[in-house]
Every structure is written in C-alpha cells, then in structure tokens.
Amino acid sequence: MTFQPRDLNLTDPEKGYLHFVLYTEPHRGYASSSLNATVKIEAQQTMTPHFQEWLGRLVRCEPNAMHCTLVEPRKIPTLFHPCVTEDKDSPSAIAGSGCTCRQTFYDPEFGLPVVAEHFKHVGTGGTDEWSYTTFAPLALRPDDVFSRFHMGRSLFWARTEKGALSILPQREGRGYSVGYSGGGPSALAAYLTQLAETDGQNTVAGASYEEAHPAILAWTQSSAADRGTNELSLADLKAMQQR
Ligand SMILES: [Zn+2]
C-alpha cells in the first residue's frame, strides 16, 4: 500500500488521535499492521541503555484493539490476565509461581502500543524475564528533525534534535540489519541516506533501496557496523556521503 504522510496522521499523538492501517485475512482470523513494521524485542536485547530509556517512559494501560494486533489471536485473552505476582490463581500462572502473562502499554511520545510478555518458570535454573512487541513509527513526528542514529543488539533508534528517542521509523517488510549484503542493510542504508540528504527533515520510512549512498551502504554491510561504531550523527552521515 502506498501513502503520503499528509494523508494520514501516523505519528503525532499530540493531535489526540492516530490513524492506523490494518492488514487482515478474515478467513484466518488474522489482523495486523499494513504499514508500520512489527518490532520484536527479545529479553536479551533489553540490556541496552537506549532500550531502557524507551522502556522507562512507557505507560501501562488497559489492553485495546491495537494490542490485539500484536499477539496471535488465540493469545488475546492473556492480555487480560493478571500476572502471577498479582494473583496466584491467574489463568496465566503455571504451577503456582510460573507465569506467561502479558502486560499492555503505550508509548506517550509516539502513541504506539506495546505488549510485554512474561516468561517466568521456577524449574531448574528458573527464569524470570520479559520480551516486548511493538510497532515502529512510520516517521518521526511532524516537527521532529533527526539528529542521531543509535544501534545496539540489533535494535535501531533515532534521536531527534530535541533529544526524544524513537525506534527508527520502519515500514512493514523493510526490516533493518547490518553486517552482510542483503535487504536489511540496504533498507537501513537507503533510510540513512534519505536522512543525510534532507538534513534530517524527511524522516518517512520506506526509502527505496536504489537511493542508498554507496559509502553508507558499505558501512551498513560491513562487520564494523556490527561490531564497533553503534552511533552516527547527522554530520557523520553527511560526511560519509562526501566520500
Ligand atoms: Zn506474569
């Protein structure tokens, strides 16, 4: 599906509403996002300072229809179950103190829903951890200007000129990654090129792969991106384009 940002308010919760475009296959009982990319964050990816900063601002809320699009249909009831730490008789409790509940949040900066999934079991070497699912925004907010790119544990972030942190805007079907030749590094390079070329003004996700600047593409494909440098300012990106 194509869209122009002017057609839909997709990123500005200040307006009091957001449009969201659903993809649905009714015969399968399936409904999810048509435009916004789904972002799954495993427990071992939650250890970075950027994730912790983002997590710290989330607001717990009642489950709504948006959260239902982030879980398998048959798991929707678990959105409404209390955690075993709140109720030992929760339908999501396992053997008295284990738990597979879910909790629901929203991001007050970008309006997007977040589902946290609990995995707690008390067997040998017991585990108590949370993973998260949300949608990436399709752009930064209307008055935001991109200033820095951050990366860590395969999570990609944008920092605005005013200091707000966002999951890097991403379209469904255009996942980002680094360290090899393929679609993920190409999608990331194309988006970073667009940011550099527009002085951080055009933050709409979905730049076509051909737009990727060769120097930026070489960086996203390199193992250096995977290993070391995990932050690039707008000035760094523009300097890469001069090469
Ligand atoms: Zn729980």
Distance 93 CA to ligand 1 centre (A): 7
Contact present, 141 and 215 (Cβ < 8 Å): no
Residues with CB under 5 A from ligand 1 (ion): 83, 99, 101, 118
Residue 60's SS3 state is strand
Distance 186 CA to ligand 1 centre (A): 38
Distance 106 CA to ligand 1 centre (A): 18
pLDDT at 226: 62
Question: So where are the chain's domains?
Answer: 38-135, 146-242
Distance 94 CA to ligand 1 centre (A): 10
Distance 100 CA to ligand 1 centre (A): 6
Distance 63 CA to ligand 1 centre (A): 15
Distance 69 CA to ligand 1 centre (A): 20
Strand duo 146-152 + 127-135: pairing: unpaired
Greatest alpha-carbon pair distance for the chain in Å reads 62
Distance 75 CA to ligand 1 centre (A): 14
**pLDDT 10s per residue in the chain (243 long)?**
566 767 788 888 888 888 899 999 999 888 999 999 999 999 999 999 999 999 999 999 999 999 999 999 999 999 999 999 999 999 999 988 899 999 999 999 999 999 999 999 987 778 999 999 999 999 999 899 999 999 988 999 999 999 999 999 999 999 999 999 999 999 999 999 999 999 999 999 999 999 999 999 999 998 766 666 689 999 999 999 987
pLDDT at 81: 96
Distance 40 CA to ligand 1 centre (A): 18
Report d(CA 191, CA 157) in Å as an integer. Answer: 12
pLDDT at 124: 74
Distance 71 CA to ligand 1 centre (A): 16
87: which 2 tokens?
């109720």
Distance 178 CA to ligand 1 centre (A): 33
Distance 127 CA to ligand 1 centre (A): 12
Distance 109 CA to ligand 1 centre (A): 26
Distance 108 CA to ligand 1 centre (A): 23
Residue 125 C-beta-side C-alpha neighbours within 13 Å: 0
Q: What is the pTM of this model?
A: 0.93
Task: Please calculate the CA angle 101-118-108 and round it to the nearest 5 degrees.
Answer: 90
Which residues lie across from 127 on neighbouring strands? 121
Distance 121 CA to ligand 1 centre (A): 10
